[in-house]
A = this chain, B = another copy of it.
Amino acid sequence: MKTISENRAFGGVQGVYSHASEVCGCDMTFGMFLPEEAEHDPVPVLWYLSGLTCTHENAMVKAGAQAWAAEQGIALIFPDTSPRGPGVSNDDAFDLGQGAGFYVNATETPWAANFQMWDYITDELPRLLFSAYPLDESRQAITGHSMGGHGALTIAMSIPGRFRSVSAFAPIANPTASDWGRKQFTAYLGADTAKWAAHDASLLMKKRGFDGPILIDQGGSDQFLDLLRPEALAEAAASARQNITFRMQKGYDHSYFFVSTFMEDHISFHADALYA
């Protein structure tokens, strides 16, 4: 593990670290905020998964999450959104390849060699973090924005018992029915659409749901509403009688101004679950 930077922030430390990833076959970088409480005891963890084009850095710098995490004594993890580097496959489009891992394990050429983000986020990175830092593995929650909201929801529903709560800001909610999903799943997972269902939050909601509370915020003036398909998730969650709060926030768009506006609510929501 290599320390890229460490900055004191809100009484704790905002760090950036890199490590050699076995599953992604490249060096991976992540951000981590440790609140002051981590100096003496393991603290609860909130994972924040970012959206298309983002690195570990965007939310760390623009979401304003540390203020509230510090208030609640919660650690924040900001993973990258894909493998990266000159030896890693890429595409000219902003929504495929580097910066667009979509939180799946690619099975197709050329992506399979490095794009194993599901295993990275659910297995390799947590094993590394929980062995190296004062983090309480029994108290985890997960959130994310856009593609990261998709990641948070699909991962939380697929690994029952790991996360006490899940939230999302403007998640890609129904990728099997959207151009943010079909294109990437075809590239990463192949043309067999049966393999896509495990990575669609609305389909997972209908199939199994989440055994804990969910909070969703969606901007009513989001420029990507047609691609995000919040209505599919809203319908699925209500049909499943899922414990959920779904909020359509009038006038907000897809930006970090939207995310930061509602960050306090999300961290407070997760704190309720993490300290229950």
Contact = CB atoms under 8 A, between A and B. Distances in A.
The oligomer's copy count stands at: 2
A246 B238 contact: yes
24 contacts: A213-B250, A220-B241, A220-B243, A221-B241, A231-B235, A231-B236, A231-B238, A231-B239, A232-B235, A233-B238, A234-B234, A234-B238, A234-B246, A235-B235, A241-B248, A242-B248, A243-B250, A244-B247, A244-B248, A245-B245, A245-B246, A245-B247, A245-B248, A246-B247
A221 B218 CA distance: 25
- The interface size bin for chain A is 20 to 34
Nearest to A213: B250
Contacts of A225: 241
Interface of A: 213, 218, 220-221, 225, 230-239, 241-250
Nearest to A242: B248
A92 B247 CA distance: 41
A248 B243 contact: yes
Q: Chain A interface secondary structure, helix, strand, loop or mixed? A: mixed
A237 B234 contact: yes
Contacts of A245: 245-248
Contacts of A246: 234, 238, 245-247
Nearest to A249: B243
A244 B234 CA distance: 12
Contacts of A244: 247-248
Nearest to A250: B243
A250 B276 CA distance: 15
Given A234-B238, A246-B246, 16 more contacts: A213-B250, A225-B241, A230-B238, A231-B236, A232-B235, A234-B235, A234-B237, A234-B246, A235-B235, A235-B238, A238-B248, A243-B248, A245-B245, A245-B247, A245-B248, A246-B247
Contacts of A238: 218, 230-231, 233-235, 246, 248
A24 to B, nearest CB: 35
Contacts of A241: 220-221, 225, 248
